[in-house]
Structure 1
């Protein structure tokens, strides 16, 4: 059939469906157009005739010379006898010149390895040839180890064989192999003879960086269990495990959910049948050295490290006195230093049971999984070498350890906080920084603007700008500075602007509700799951608690802002609500600017490792930076922190006479108006006792006295 294998497989299966329904007892396997029918006795003539006629209805015909009635039967390159199955003659491609040749060779071996017993250990030299390849035509040649491995594989292909399944006997799964290369065998015990049905192998490269022994064997048993169900339609009757006794089952089940699910409902045994394969199986003699619960009467040791000082070490109590052991290794990451601290602790107290307390969740996670673990691909070579060293130290230990994580600087009573504080002070060292270095480190943490650095640390403008320009997260964007005056309140808590923007990295909490005081530029933001009024109400209540209650809130005409519930809520709080400024298309400019500032800060904080924080915590930190670290300009050209301006400033107005443009009449007005404040593009004016109103700055010009004007206003004018 000249079409895709998938279509061929589907079409033949469709053609066989009617015959399968009529004759349910025969087992029918087919791979595209190669069909195998297995029955306890020879197929009857009527069944054979119906089989041919059924296929002919779909245009499929069986060549008489292709029919095999006696053993040995040849099927898909295998030779099948009454009791056994073995691989037919197969010549492996030993001439290797490129990565593509290696890939084809490994692919051919993978196809037959499950009934030839070709282990991961046999294939490892070939897998090594595939590593670090970037081009299919990249040159590759067999190494001496690969040549030797290929000879072993060819010998297994020629000599190995598996047995056919006998429904009269139960199926068992046996774990075998060395500690580094575990595999499983699906077999049946037929009287005193072990009949191997198939081999099952784990993945060569584990999915996790560190896979515990319990998870490793548990996933292998699950894979074998699923294979037994798929091929034989039954569950394994027993798992034979490389334990000295079955006493480990409870401890392993508590350590690994994967192992607990795999062995659920299956009998466990430690008695291997008499067979040469199991003479080299590595037996697990002991339980895990790393315990899941604290160890009584054990020494408690506190470890810590500092990336800033390059110091790492541990502390412990001896007769009510704290003792320290500190090392210095600058230029390395905190992860490496934290692991080194634990390694040195295990070396120093090699013959004592230990309770280890660390403030590094990463280091604790590695220690709790490393005992007899399978190590996969780890980020850097330095960390990989350190993890392998840690694994060797733990495997050589005889005394148990327990390792736990605690948050630093919790200030709680008790030995945990006390010990953590002792080692934390020891590795932190004295903080003596010059202003420029202190400003650089502050910007690495807060990502504030150059103006904020200049004011807080007393730097020159060029120094502050150089620090921001050197930051990879802030260099592409201009520093956070006040850009002119958008219509705003004449004092704090006079006029707010509220709006919603989306930040997809927060997932369900992607809707950021933002309110900003238009006078002080103090801001508050909330990450919520919707834009409905219930979310708006929640945000406003939080903002009122932080910034106080404003006299007016300005929004757009979104349904959540202009609905009945919003109007009722603001009325209860005594807040006036407006939705726009006539003839102004950028009335929400201040809050829109704050949207950009918040998103930029969130992106910078995420790159700096703050991804471990929750969305609410990251947003709170961004608001802190905007309110406390980024100064804004006032009308008198001074710079001040927004939160200080919000709580300390008084209403400040100019009260200068001006003339305004009347867009309805298309002419300048004739009434004298008072200018309260003005800025880049906007001005606030009022006529008599009327409330202030905001207009574009181009609609305002100084009041110049004309003939007939009163003596009182003569000579008064404004300077723009």
Structure 2
């Protein structure tokens, strides 16, 4: 047992190793001291100790020979002179200890919970972090630390390698201290009188260091305040939001190399963040690359992390602050203070390891160091939301105690506004204390206490608000430049009143090419718009509110670009104003430059502006307007109160916009130069659109997109005969019917009722009066809408529009008129055909088949068929030749020899490559449109062709790269098709497919008028139908598809066998009948009365007997007789 008097000596090596572990720096000799400090050489690396914070232990008396030891966290002072018992600053108290010498004290080691907390803090925050140091200091305050405790703590905090080195260094220190101990009689032997050895120091089990021994040796423990204060907020774990992850699988994005300057800057930034405790070392399986960028105009760098892949696996959080606060709601002449703070919001401990990164090394000369963030990193998509929530939680108690004061917080700017300086100072102090206590860094140089205050891009005066100096780019060259310019102007519009009409020339420059680099040039109108902007920036301003005044709203501008103003008005007589402006402009309100509807009535624009303004004032002030000014002008006369009431009662949009509005509505405007300079917008309060049917003429409209018919029909009141106005209009059925409506308004200036079966047209006509038209890309439609708006707005007599369902069997006049219009719009479907010749003519108008096809289908003479083809304007320009036999070698039956090639048809756009296959025997054609002519496209075409016409024995193509490719050769081998190619650069070997190219293109051009709006696949399918099923030649009046499937033994119907069937009524056999088909459990036979479906078990094969003999020579009958005989014998037995 080591004597009690030796226990204090064990402090020496313990403290040295404690120093070595904490700092990892060199030990230097202390200057200007009478005692030589001890040196420790561990792995040839010394450490310098300069920090004097932590635990102080002073030993005097018999341990005076020990040198002074100075460490970070522990300081051991050996004074060389015995101090009195009164010099003790703080005495260590052991439970159950008694006074006197050589009395065993009861030692209580570190609790396991304390060690667990220290290890967790060391792992999460690092050994140099303020949090770990503060936690260690608090534990040393509460527990008695002896060498065994330190050894136990080292064994937990260090890994196996570090702990072995620590033990080696401790042994070395004890070995050096042993000679001095052996020279002292009281320390040379243990409690049993045996000489002291090194094993006594290394193998002791139970340390003894109690209050009595400390009193005997003059040991005192002092824990002074550290030289650098540690904020409570920096060591306390503050609550923060936890992220929701879409996956728990680690995401690792490799770090890319960095240049030497950037790598050096990165290492300095990492060292800085590490010292602040914002990052800690990690072994996380997550990784995202980091990079640095130099701040413009400064010799400083910024550390950024590419978190795009991490953001993809984080669940979005809803925005808590969708926009910035408006400074116009700050009362006039109240005092302001703006503070800019740099804050670091803590990450949740469970989320922190997922934001790890690596610091690379040049040429991989050493293992890279890895860290993860403990605070919100820049670039994480939920950082703004967490920041808003966190700062709001800090400022909420300040707001509660602020009274009348106003606190605005947006991102890293905090604005405090109060009625007087005393309250401002008080609330500002509370705000600063709350932020500093949470670990925020406030930049005093950015604190603003005097006007003008710069806040969120605005300059706030005591009464006015103007944007900060805005650089207007007058030279633009691309779409990106115009977009940035319009974005800046759109941001300052609410405070400067830049109307949509003023900025429309600039907004129009955004239209056109979608590429950001697409060229743009300022038009003369756009340059004038920029001049207006420059003038507004220099003259216009917004105001801070007067808390005593109510809010008002006024509608201004000209149609179609209306705008409004939220303002306050001081009722001061003109003679008493003395230069004080009674108007306080709070904010301007604008409508969108691009409206959602194609046609919008002026009343709807007014309603939208009122709705938008009421929504905005609730956002700003939480109240409604006292008065809404709607200064409407009429084309003639003055508007009256009755007219305004009628407008509000009849317009549904205005009713919704003014729902639950309790203020006043005025048709006048305040007397001010801003309002007087704006002309009143003209609004027609008299509607010609009747909401009830009129006792007048009724006009029915209809249209057909297929036949391009636009029909207008009505029953003449005098003759009682149906009249019609039919025109041919290209476009959709809605466009054609809209054209019919336009002709109706042009034809009938008197009152009339309009009945249409298009809901779209009925809605357009009902909203067309005085409507504002939005530009549309379809020029024909835009022209029709513009003409309709003009006609309806100039209409003096009332009209009524009604929508009815088409193709109904209802009785009455409306259904009859609609059927008349339908019959006129689609004569091929509704009108009866007078004769076969007209049927052939209509069929040719639809399919444009050749003359032999018409002869075969409608049994016309050759002269009649030729007359129909000659009369067709499309076929007369591009005649389709009849199919003659030709002399090119062909197959002798279907699917024997095919020819395949590719032709181009530019009208199909991206699918302009038409792959064509033709059977050389039958002339059957299959074609498909593709986006290319490579081997893959050829294979897709052949698969579709095989499914349509079968598999050929031989395929002949040209020598193109697609047909010579290994991919196509392998494909044809799999399908068992022999591949041959023609003579290079000679199309004569492919004459038949080359001629088919021309046939397909001619048919496509002939049918273009009918199928102009259809897709390429539909147009090509219609052309193939015409070629394969309708066209034929005079030599054989069979279309190619009939020759392909009818004249080939491969597709011919096999001979139907004859069978005998059982009659379920009589039980006897009937037949023989032809077997049409049969399957699992069923069969179909052909009887004199028609096909008959019966169970398969009732069917037996029919075997006729030989003539003149009663013997059955058929082997099948013999076998059947033998089976019946065996079955009978088995039943009898």
TM-score (norm 2): 0.40
1:269 matched to 2:666? The reply is yes
The equivalent residue for 2:30 is none
Of structures 1 and 2, the larger Rg is shown by 2
Q: Is the 8 A contact 2:611 2:657 kept in 1?
A: yes
The equivalent residue for 2:453 is 73
Q: Is the 8 A contact 1:52 1:61 kept in 2?
A: no
The equivalent residue for 2:711 is 312
Q: State the superposition RMSD in angstroms.
A: 4.7
2:407 is aligned, of 17, 20, 28, to: 28
Mapping 1:624-639, distance limit 5 Å: none
Shift of 1:176: 1.1
Q: 1:682 to 1:46 in 2, by over 3 A?
A: same
Mapping 1:244-643, distance limit 5 Å: 244-247=639-642, 257-266=652-661, 267-279=664-676, 280-287=678-685, 289-291=687-689, 293-294=691-692, 296-307=694-705, 308=707, 310-319=709-718, 321-322=720-721, 324=723, 326-350=725-749, 352-378=750-776, 380-428=778-826, 431=831, 434-435=839-840, 438=843
Following the alignment from structure 2 to structure 1, what is the Cα–Cα distance between the partners of residues 794 and 646? 20
- Secondary structure in 2 aligned to 1:108? helix
Shift of 1:608: 9.1
- Secondary structure in 2 aligned to 1:318? coil
Per-residue CA shift, 1:204-227, capped at 9, x if unaligned?
A: 111122233333322222111111
Shift of 1:162: 1.5
Per-residue CA shift, 1:402-421, capped at 9, x if unaligned?
A: 21111234343444234434
Q: Is the 8 A contact 1:188 1:195 kept in 2?
A: yes
The equivalent residue for 1:525 is none
1:237 is aligned, of 610, 615, 626, to: 626
Following the alignment from structure 2 to structure 1, what is the Cα–Cα distance between the partners of residues 698 and 771? 25
The equivalent residue for 2:904 is none
Q: 1:329 to 1:269 in 2, by over 3 A?
A: same
1:93 matched to 2:492? The reply is no
Shift of 1:679: 4.0
1:18 matched to 2:415? The reply is no
Q: 1:217 to 1:469 in 2, by over 3 A?
A: farther
Mapping 1:54-69, distance limit 5 Å: 54-69=434-449
Per-residue CA shift, 1:363-391, capped at 9, x if unaligned?
A: 11111122233333535111012111211
1:6 is aligned, of 378, 384, 396, to: 384
The equivalent residue for 2:571 is 191
Following the alignment from structure 1 to structure 2, what is the Cα–Cα distance between the partners of residues 41 and 704? 124
Following the alignment from structure 1 to structure 2, what is the Cα–Cα distance between the partners of residues 252 and 415? 35
Shift of 1:290: 5.0
Shift of 1:132: 1.8
Following the alignment from structure 2 to structure 1, what is the Cα–Cα distance between the partners of residues 827 and 702? 12
Q: 1:286 to 1:143 in 2, by over 3 A?
A: closer
Following the alignment from structure 2 to structure 1, what is the Cα–Cα distance between the partners of residues 407 and 924? 76
Shift of 1:353: 3.0
Q: Is the 8 A contact 2:755 2:802 kept in 1?
A: yes
Shift of 1:339: 1.3
- Secondary structure in 2 aligned to 1:710? helix
Mapping 1:106-145, distance limit 5 Å: 106-145=486-525
Following the alignment from structure 1 to structure 2, what is the Cα–Cα distance between the partners of residues 275 and 680? 96
Q: 1:467 to 1:323 in 2, by over 3 A?
A: farther
- Aligned residue pairs, count: 514
Q: Is the 8 A contact 2:418 2:424 kept in 1?
A: no
Following the alignment from structure 1 to structure 2, what is the Cα–Cα distance between the partners of residues 382 and 363? 15
Following the alignment from structure 2 to structure 1, what is the Cα–Cα distance between the partners of residues 945 and 628? 65
- Secondary structure in 2 aligned to 1:402? strand
Q: 1:285 to 1:93 in 2, by over 3 A?
A: closer
Following the alignment from structure 2 to structure 1, what is the Cα–Cα distance between the partners of residues 741 and 690? 17
Following the alignment from structure 1 to structure 2, what is the Cα–Cα distance between the partners of residues 479 and 330? 41
Q: 1:436 to 1:420 in 2, by over 3 A?
A: closer
Q: Is the 8 A contact 2:701 2:740 kept in 1?
A: yes
Per-residue CA shift, 1:132-184, capped at 9, x if unaligned?
A: 22200111111111111111111112211112222322212211110110112
Following the alignment from structure 2 to structure 1, what is the Cα–Cα distance between the partners of residues 442 and 698? 77
Mapping 1:30-49, distance limit 5 Å: 30-42=409-421, 43-49=423-429
Following the alignment from structure 1 to structure 2, what is the Cα–Cα distance between the partners of residues 275 and 420? 58
Q: Is the 8 A contact 1:208 1:377 kept in 2?
A: no
Q: 1:331 to 1:321 in 2, by over 3 A?
A: same
Per-residue CA shift, 1:433-455, capped at 9, x if unaligned?
A: 5458549969xxxxxxxxxxxx9
Following the alignment from structure 1 to structure 2, what is the Cα–Cα distance between the partners of residues 263 and 111? 28
Shift of 1:123: 1.4
Q: 1:675 to 1:115 in 2, by over 3 A?
A: farther
Q: Is the 8 A contact 1:27 1:38 kept in 2?
A: yes
Q: 1:295 to 1:708 in 2, by over 3 A?
A: closer
Q: Is the 8 A contact 1:177 1:278 kept in 2?
A: no
Q: 1:109 to 1:692 in 2, by over 3 A?
A: same
Following the alignment from structure 1 to structure 2, what is the Cα–Cα distance between the partners of residues 478 and 440? 28
TM-score (norm 1): 0.61
The equivalent residue for 1:155 is 535
- Secondary structure in 2 aligned to 1:95? coil
The equivalent residue for 2:548 is 168
Following the alignment from structure 1 to structure 2, what is the Cα–Cα distance between the partners of residues 226 and 233? 9
Question: Unmatched 5+ residue regions in structure 2?
Answer: 1-341, 343-376, 573-581, 633-638, 848-855, 861-882, 884-917, 931-940, 951-1012, 1016-1045, 1047-1055, 1063-1071, 1085-1092, 1104-1113, 1126-1133
Following the alignment from structure 1 to structure 2, what is the Cα–Cα distance between the partners of residues 373 and 479? 58
- Secondary structure in 1 aligned to 2:681? coil
Q: Is the 8 A contact 2:486 2:506 kept in 1?
A: yes
Tell me: higher relative CO, structure 1 or 2? Use CA pairs within 8 A at least 6 residues apart.
Answer: 1
Following the alignment from structure 1 to structure 2, what is the Cα–Cα distance between the partners of residues 149 and 296? 49
Q: 1:145 to 1:101 in 2, by over 3 A?
A: same
Q: Is the 8 A contact 2:570 2:583 kept in 1?
A: yes
